[in-house]
Amino acid sequence: MEYGSKPKGEQIAIEAGPNPAAVEQPVTLTVTVAQTGSSVPTGSINFQNGSESLGRASLDSTGTASLVISWLPLVPTQWLGIFGDSNYPSGESGADSLEVLAATTTSLSVSPNPVTAGQALVLTAKVTANDSVSPTGTVTFLNGSTLLGTSSLNSSGVATLSTASLAPGTYSLTAKYGGNGNSLTSTSSAVSVTVKAESTTTSLSATPNLSPQVGS
The confidence score (pLDDT) of residue 43 equals 85
* 76 pLDDT higher than 90: no
CB-based contacts of 23, cutoff 8 Å, min separation 6: 72, 73, 74, 100, 101, 102, 103, 130, 131
* 145 pLDDT higher than 90: yes
The confidence score (pLDDT) of residue 209 equals 61
The confidence score (pLDDT) of residue 82 equals 73
What's the mean pLDDT in 129-135? Answer: 80
The confidence score (pLDDT) of residue 202 equals 62
CB-based contacts of 216, cutoff 8 Å, min separation 6: none
167 or 5, greater pLDDT: 167
- Answer for the pair 67, 18: CB distance below 8 angstroms, yes or no: no
Average pLDDT, the chain: 84
Of 2-11, 104-113, 161-170, 175-184, the least confident: 2-11
92 or 187, greater pLDDT: 187
Question: Strand pairing of 138-143 and 146-152?
Answer: antiparallel
What's the mean pLDDT in 60-74? Answer: 87
CA distance 20 to 72: 11
Of 68, 85, 87, 96, nearest in space to 10 by CA = 96
What's the mean pLDDT in 36-48? Answer: 82
Instruction: Write down the pTM of the prediction.
Output: 0.70
Domains of the chain: 8-101 (2.60.40.10), 104-196 (2.60.40.10)
* 8 pLDDT higher than 50: no
When pLDDT is cut at 50, 70 and 90, the band that residue 87 belongs to is low
How many other C-beta atoms lie within 10 A of the C-beta of residue 210? 5
